[in-house]
């Protein structure tokens, strides 16, 4: 199947088919719903892009040895097929179940301890934690999809062997297979060029300004970079304001992270390999993991249940995605929303005719800064309405979490009172109750909160408003009361919405300081429009060339 994966590499250094391959792993069905957990697929993607797959290949080789040599099978001669695809023993619980029976031979032993599957060989013991099974299953899916013949080949070479060298040899073969795949599908050359271009510009800029500290990136620097790069023939492609903004943010972030990592320790001890002139995949992955929560994807908020609409998500997406910069580059994100959008329209128009370009240039952007600000404020209010609808759902299911959600909606003094009540009750219940399970505490807290509800007019009014918010919400997932099983999804939705709301709020805070009056705001817009219009006219106007 390798042949069917085209290796056209896109500008992010990964081929389109590699990207679709990973997407297919997220989508592929299993016994119930999707076969693989999103987190496991993403973890595997991380191993691959960091080229840090040595250990995971070894782990998989030991696991396949255990599966092939463990005696409980029902399908003749296909233990891997049965374990990973038919029975899907790829959750910790199913994994434990599959290895429940220990198995001993003269030279080896397969035994499940409390924490891991222990594989004992004459010279060493290898441990595989049940929590690793999801990631390992994703890796095997990749390997078998790329080379289906490996399925029986692995079984044949491991069946009956007690020789650990054979397992290690398999691991090295799997690594070679991945190496070859990545050689075609993960090519960072173009990204390296972009990095060098931006980092050199940043260095020169800092030097020219005579600054010592380059730790902060600001809106002026971003705009200056784009203004320079947009017409520079040697630039690796920064005609789009959006590309310039995203890359300068990412380069800046990478430089800061590398400085921090090196400040913590000397280069050698954090894995610099002098021979290859590169850092070890382990180090790279560790740093990537530490900020991967920053690049967590929130686009599910506009899927099902529809916490926000697609249009709303696209409006806030850049801010959420690059949220560590949502405050320092607040204006740059406004420019992206207004002029980035305008530029996209012009690029489209350029493909049609010069006359349409002229028309679009004369029309100006769809929104000005004041309208953007208003739209953001409205969106923030809409998000609050959705969190209120979620609050109502929890209340209706007699789940005491509604109290926690209500705190954010109440006046501070009242919220304080309720928080105190909540903590006191929770301690009382935990101390006196014989059944201290979360479920029970939740139930008792809900029952007792009814008294609180009678005492607090504010809380009562808030809940009434939440009910109205729920009734007014006709989007998917809010048309009728969801079942109790779905509450966790709504809790995640609530957390996601609050995360987005905080980011929008902090960005708005900065903009409000920046534009004290609407005259300031308009002034800023007018001066920016002359900059962007000037550049766009040169880029797309009659006399000039390509996008």
Partner 1 sequence: MDKNNHPERQQKLAEQLFCVGAAYSALVKGPGHDKKQSNSPLLFNDIVQLIKGNSQAHIVKRSPKIIKKINADINLRRMYLQLIKQLTFAQSGLQVAASSGESLVERVTEQFSIKFKRDKTQPSQVYVILTINHPADHHLIDTLAVHITNNEQVDCLYFPAIVAGRSQLLMEDEDKQFKLLVDTNSALYLM
Interaction with partner 1 in 132-151: which residues (CB under 8 A)? 141, 144-145, 148, 151
Does residue 28 touch partner 1 according to CB under 8 A? yes
C-alpha distance across the termini of the chain, in Å = 36
Which 314-353 residues touch partner 1, going by CB under 8 A?
A: none
CA–CA gap between residue 252 and residue 221 (Å, rounded):
11
Report in angstroms how near the CB of residue 91 gets to partner 1 at its nearest.
15
Query: What are the tokens at 526?
Result: 């007018």
CA–CA gap between residue 336 and residue 342 (Å, rounded):
9
Give the binding-site size for partner 1 (rule: CB under 8 A). 74
Q: Which is nearer to partner 1, 251 or 316 (CB)?
A: 251
Nearest-CA neighbor of 64 among 147, 139, 176? Answer: 139
Among residues 135, 186, 336, 463, the one that binds partner 1 under rule CB under 8 A? 186
User: Which residue's entry shows tokens 């806030």?
Assistant: 316
CA–CA gap between residue 94 and residue 141 (Å, rounded):
18
Which 466-485 residues touch partner 1, going by CB under 8 A?
A: none
Q: Which is nearer to partner 1, 291 or 416 (CB)?
A: 291
Does residue 278 touch partner 1 according to CB under 8 A? yes
Does residue 5 touch partner 1 according to CB under 8 A? yes
- Do 116 and 129 touch, CB atoms closer than 8 A? yes
Which 189-208 residues touch partner 1, going by CB under 8 A?
A: 191-192, 194-196, 199
Q: Which is nearer to partner 1, 288 or 441 (CB)?
A: 288
Q: Which is nearer to partner 1, 137 or 466 (CB)?
A: 137
Strand partners, 119: 110, 126
Nearest-CA neighbor of 298 among 276, 270, 317? Answer: 317
Residue 435: DSSP 8-state: -
The C-alpha angle 499, 501, 504, rounded to 5 degrees, equals 115
User: Which residue's entry shows tokens 């209120």?
Assistant: 388
CA–CA gap between residue 240 and residue 327 (Å, rounded):
22
Does residue 261 touch partner 1 according to CB under 8 A? yes
Among residues 55, 72, 86, 520, the one that binds partner 1 under rule CB under 8 A? 86
Which 482-511 residues touch partner 1, going by CB under 8 A?
A: none
Report in angstroms how near the CB of residue 41 gets to partner 1 at its nearest.
9
Query: What are the tokens at 35?
Result: 């076969």
Query: What are the tokens at 455?
Result: 């005492």
Q: Which is nearer to partner 1, 24 or 430 (CB)?
A: 24
Neighbours of 244 (CB within 10 A): 25
Report in angstroms how near the CB of residue 23 gets to partner 1 at its nearest.
4
* 506 conformational bin, left if phi > 0, alpha if psi -120 to 50, beta if neither: alpha
Full DSSP string of 109-144: EEEE-SS-EEEE-SS-EEEE-GGGHHHHHHHHHHHH
Does residue 421 touch partner 1 according to CB under 8 A? no
Q: Which is nearer to partner 1, 155 or 166 (CB)?
A: 155
Which 391-410 residues touch partner 1, going by CB under 8 A?
A: none
Residues present in the chain in total? 547
> Among 38-46, 94-102, 228-236, 404-412, which window interacts with partner 1 (CB under 8 A)?
38-46
Q: Which is nearer to partner 1, 67 or 459 (CB)?
A: 67
Counting beta carbons within 10 angstroms of the beta carbon of residue 449, is it exposed (0 to 12), middle (13 to 18) or buried (19 or more)?
A: buried
Query: From edge to edge, which strands make up the β-sheet containing 103-104?
Result: 103-104, 109-112, 117-120, 125-128
> Among 45-53, 205-213, 228-236, 489-497, which window interacts with partner 1 (CB under 8 A)?
45-53
Among residues 17, 214, 371, 385, the one that binds partner 1 under rule CB under 8 A? 17
> Among 40-48, 353-361, 425-433, 532-540, which window interacts with partner 1 (CB under 8 A)?
40-48
Report in angstroms how near the CB of residue 26 gets to partner 1 at its nearest.
7
Report in angstroms how near the CB of residue 523 gets to partner 1 at its nearest.
36
Enclosing H/E stretch for 453:
helix 438-455
Does residue 287 touch partner 1 according to CB under 8 A? yes
> Among 95-103, 256-264, 449-457, 467-475, which window interacts with partner 1 (CB under 8 A)?
256-264
Neighbours of 428 (CB within 10 A): 13
Angle between helices 438-455 and 457-472 (to 10 degrees): 110
Among residues 62, 85, 392, 470, the one that binds partner 1 under rule CB under 8 A? 85
Angle between helices 219-229 and 189-209 (to 10 degrees): 120
Does residue 284 touch partner 1 according to CB under 8 A? yes
Does residue 33 touch partner 1 according to CB under 8 A? yes
Does residue 10 touch partner 1 according to CB under 8 A? yes
SS3 458: helix
What would the x/- binding string for partner 1 be over residues 295 to 314, using CB under 8 A?
x-x-x---------------
CA–CA gap between residue 530 and residue 139 (Å, rounded):
52
Report in angstroms how near the CB of residue 213 gets to partner 1 at its nearest.
15
Does residue 50 touch partner 1 according to CB under 8 A? yes
């Amino acid at each position: 199947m390798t042949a069917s994966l085209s290796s056209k590499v896109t500008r992010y250094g990964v081929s389109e088919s590699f990207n679709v391959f990973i997407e297919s792993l997220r989508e592929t069905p299993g016994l119930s719903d999707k076969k693989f957990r999103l987190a496991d697929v993403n973890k595997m993607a991380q191993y691959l892009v960091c080229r840090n797959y040595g250990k995971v290949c070894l782990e998989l080789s030991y696991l396949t040895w255990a599966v092939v040599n463990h005696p409980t099978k029902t399908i003749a001669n296909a233990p891997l097929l049965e374990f990973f695809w038919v029975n899907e023993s790829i959750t910790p619980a199913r994994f434990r179940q599959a290895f429940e029976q220990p198995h001993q031979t003269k030279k080896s032993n397969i035994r499940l301890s409390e924490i891991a599957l222990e594989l004992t060989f004459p010279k060493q013991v290898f441990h595989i934690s049940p929590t690793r099974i999801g990631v390992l299953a994703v890796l095997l899916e990749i390997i078998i999809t790329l080379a289906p013949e490996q399925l029986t080949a692995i079984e044949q070479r491991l069946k009956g062997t007690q020789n650990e060298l054979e397992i290690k040899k398999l691991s090295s073969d799997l690594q070679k297979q991945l190496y070859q795949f990545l050689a075609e599908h993960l090519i960072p050359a173009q990204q390296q060029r972009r990095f060098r271009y931006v980092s050199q510009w940043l260095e020169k800029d800092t030097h020219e300004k005579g600054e010592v500290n380059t730790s902060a990136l600001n809106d002026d620097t971003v705009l200056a970079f784009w203004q320079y790069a947009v017409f520079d023939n040697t630039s690796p492609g920064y005609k789009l304001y959006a590309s310039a903004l995203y890359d300068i943010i990412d380069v800046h972030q990478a430089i800061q992270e590398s400085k921090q990592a090196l400040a913590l320790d000397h280069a050698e001890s954090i894995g610099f390999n002098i021979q290859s002139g590169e850092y070890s995949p382990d180090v790279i992955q560790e740093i990537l993991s530490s900020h991967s929560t920053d690049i967590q994807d929130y686009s599910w908020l506009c899927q099902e249940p529809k916490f926000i609409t697609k249009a709303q998500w696209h409006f806030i997406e850049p801010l959420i995605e690059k949220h560590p910069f949502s405050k320092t580059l607040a204006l740059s994100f406004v420019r992206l929303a207004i002029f980035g959008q305008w530029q996209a329209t012009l690029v489209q128009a350029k493909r049609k005719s010069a006359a349409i370009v002229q028309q679009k240039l004369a029309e100006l952007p769809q929104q000005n800064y004041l309208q953007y600000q208003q739209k953001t404020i409205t969106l923030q209010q809409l998000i609050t309405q959705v969190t209120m609808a979620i609050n109502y759902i929890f209340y209706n299911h007699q789940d005491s979490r509604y109290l926690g959600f209500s705190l954010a909606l109440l006046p501070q003094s009242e919220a304080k009172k309720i928080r105190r009540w909540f903590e006191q009750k929770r301690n009382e219940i935990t101390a006196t109750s014989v059944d201290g399970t979360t479920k029970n505490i939740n139930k008792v807290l809900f029952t007792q909160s009814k008294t609180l509800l009678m005492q607090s007019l504010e809380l009562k009014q808030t809940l009434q408003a939440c009910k109205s918010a729920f009734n007014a919400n006709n989007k998917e997932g809010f048309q009728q009361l969801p079942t109790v099983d779905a509450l966790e999804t709504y809790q995640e939705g609530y957390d996601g919405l609050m995360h987005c709301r905080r980011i929008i709020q902090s960005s708005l805070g900065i903009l409000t300081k920046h534009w004290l009056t609407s005259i300031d705001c308009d002034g800023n817009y007018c001066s920016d429009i002359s900059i962007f219009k000037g550049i766009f006219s040169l880029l797309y106007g009659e006399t000039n060339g390509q996008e």
